[in-house]
Amino acid sequence: MGRRNCKENMERIIISVFGMHCASCAANIERYLRNLDGVSKVNVNFATEKAYVEFESGKISRAELESAIERSGYKVIKFSPFGAADKNSGTDFELLVRSKETSLLKLRFLTALAFSLPLMYFSMSSFLNLPVAGVIVKNMAVVQFLLATVVVAAGGQFFARGTAAVVRSKAANMDTLVSLGVGAAYFYSLVNSVLIWLKIIPYSMHVLYYEIAAFLITFILLGRLLESIVKGKTSQAIKKLLGLQVKTAVVFSSGIEKEIPIEQVLVGDIVIVRPGERVPTDGQIIEGRSAIDESMVTGESMPRELTVGDEVIGSTINKTGTFKFRATRVGKDTFLARIIRLVQEAQGSKAPIQEAADTVAAYFVPAVLLIALVVFLIWLISGAGFAFSLTIFITVIIIACPCALGLATPTAVMVATGIGAENGILIKNAQSLELANKLDAVVFDKTGTLTQGKPAVTDIICVGSFTKDDILRFAAIAEKRSEHPLAEAICTRARQANPDIPEPEVFNSITGKGVIARLKNDVIILGNRKLFGERKIDISGCEQKVTDLELQGKTAMMVGLNNEVAGIIALADTLKASSRQAILNLKSLNKKVYLITGDNRRTAQTIAREAGIEQVLAEVLPSDKAMELRKLRDQGLKVAMVGDGINDAPALAQADIGIAVGAGTDVAIESADIVLIRDDLMDVVTTIDLSGFAMKKIHQNLFWAFIYNIVGIPLAAGLFYPFTGFLLNPVVAGFAMTFSSVSVVVNSLTIRRFRKRT
């Protein structure tokens, strides 16, 4: 996909925007901001109600950008008084404001409904012979006017203000359509009411359309309310992550423990964490040990045993012991804050498939207005009458729904990236989410990705009367003072069988050959053929076995006791537990799988064979890995590179999708498109499965959004009249428009049913 290099003075910010009601609103803001000097990139997301702006700080400021958005007719949330993790978006404050907005919509809807129901009753009373008090019958036009005016005041101004604002910015949106529809019905009825009061025309239900204006507002307010509630559920992942944030920390200074707000914790502070408490911020343990539950951040279910020197992640749960740690990252630099920021940016990014919907939405409102006007004139000229033609006009502009088009992709992206984050999969942008399902090939780095990244004992072979426990114990005694990675692997394996490993009295390391140690009267030798040859020890009985192990890509060492071969111990960098299953699942998805490594071909082939990989790229220098990726892409393949995000950074950047596994490093997060927090290759499969599931929902959303408008507008225009006469009602159109928007968001929410493979 390739990373972008920004100028040093380029800044990227997130601005929370209020007042967007459809995709046209987002397009209007984008168009307005792009025309500003210094703005290089703008992405306004209708579903998340955020503007993602890249700009040159020397030419324009954040304050000027916010002012520009407000001039275009929309509101901006400018700050957070609650210390949100992401200072750019003021997330805590934003959630509070959005909650208040939902409450206000609920109040407006209930008010509109309370006055619309009696209005409908009175307006239909003469047609259905409903009982009505005589005083109301005599003043029916006045009663309907008063009831409708209350509804218009409660909800209509909500749309009128939006229309006035966008008219000032010379752009139209969904508010424009709603205001025209409501305004046409209300003011046509008002004119006729005046004529009735002046006794120029008699009262008739066919000359007053107050109930249409009132119920249009009621249904659209209901749609906005449901949309607000359901959209809130699409961002549950962000809410959960925010809920993990710790409010206070116990800091140890000058022998005194003091509880302070988390905002006051500084890098270098010593923090105390007791059992059951959350770790306040990122840091390194300096005293004590404990089991830490990191599941809410990493998705890993089992607590991790940590001790002095280990890193702790802020907001994880301390399960057992008390420990002290030194804060290394605080505030917006913590691991959790970076995750929140990445998820927010991913939820606000646009997938390529959204471009078609955005293009349609940009021309949608003007096109609908033109269609409605043409249809109105056609019916009027045909002799249908002004009232009927006006009804058709209102129905057309109300049934049209750019909202469904605008919500189809971003709501699905929000839910999918949120599900990914909950499972320790950080998908950094919508483009990667869409592309993951289309991959042709997945290239795995070997060391630290397919394998554990450190040697482990694989074989213990006995010679003579010695047992495997004897061989392992001799090797561990010899290596106990060594700092070599192989020595650590041997001692770790030995401690699993017997924690008590004696300290050698004499230890001598011979570079390139092995070690010699003495314990009491026994001399232990651990090394290769050269060392045993120098000691004149006969190895003829086991030399072939050593050769066989080496052919398998393993490091084989002979173990001797008092000038006699006791056995062989072999080590190798072993596969991760999930590697074989992950490769098998990728093949079942028809993905080509490659192994790339700087190791020799023999070792690479051995690991590849164990993992079930046929295509091997061996003896490739780190600097050449990107070139190998480019060769695969030149063959027309869409390629993902899976690595640890450190020395694989160039290859991760060169691939169509770079996936960093088990990495919380800045390098990984910067260079990869997808970061898998857990060290589990099955998450690569989960990413592809989640992509496929999300894209299926996006295609469904777009299909129904397009079909709804393609079918709905002609029906509302009276194309099949009188067979579809019941549809030529603005109230029915308002209900259909509301249903279309809400149904798209609800369908996106079904992505939460996604379950990863076990």
Positions marked catalytic: 445
Decide if 542 contacts 461 (C-beta within 8 A): yes
Question: Per the structure block, which two tokens stand in for 231?
Answer: 């959209």
Burial class (CB in 10 A: 0-12, 13-18, 19+), 562: exposed
Cα dihedral 700, 701, 702, 704 sign: positive
Question: Per the structure block, which two tokens stand in for 653?
Answer: 């950047």
Distance CA 559, CA 186 (A): 97
Burial class (CB in 10 A: 0-12, 13-18, 19+), 549: buried
Decide if 536 contacts 435 (C-beta within 8 A): no
**Across the strands, what pairs with 89?**
none
Q: How, if at all, do strands 317-318 and 290-293 pair?
A: antiparallel
Distance CA 50, CA 369 (A): 27
The DSSP annotation for 38-98 comes to TEEEEEEETTTTEEEEEEETTT--HHHHHHHHHHTT-EEE---TT--S-TTTTHHHHHHHH
Give the chain's end-to-end CA distance (angstroms, integer). 30
Question: Per the structure block, which two tokens stand in for 167?
Answer: 């008219």
Please give the sequence-ordered ranges of beta strands (E in DSSP) within 589-693, or none if there are none.
592-596, 615-617, 639-643, 657-661, 674-676
CA distances, 561 to each of 353, 470, 508, 722 (Å)? 69, 10, 15, 102
**Across the strands, what pairs with 594?**
443, 615
Distance CA 604, CA 439 (A): 24
Burial class (CB in 10 A: 0-12, 13-18, 19+), 133: exposed
Decide if 404 contacts 379 (C-beta within 8 A): no
- CB neighbour list of residue 557: distance below 8 Å, 6 or more residues apart: 475, 486, 514, 526, 527, 528, 568, 569, 570, 571
Distance CA 442, CA 590 (A): 11
Decide if 318 contacts 279 (C-beta within 8 A): yes
Decide if 377 contacts 714 (C-beta within 8 A): no
Residue type, 687: T
Angle of helix 386-399 versus helix 210-234 axis, rounded to 10: 0
Decide if 118 contacts 218 (C-beta within 8 A): no
Question: Per the structure block, which two tokens stand in for 323?
Answer: 């420990």
Distance CA 428, CA 342 (A): 6
What are the phi and psi torsion angles at 50 (to 5°)?
-135, 150
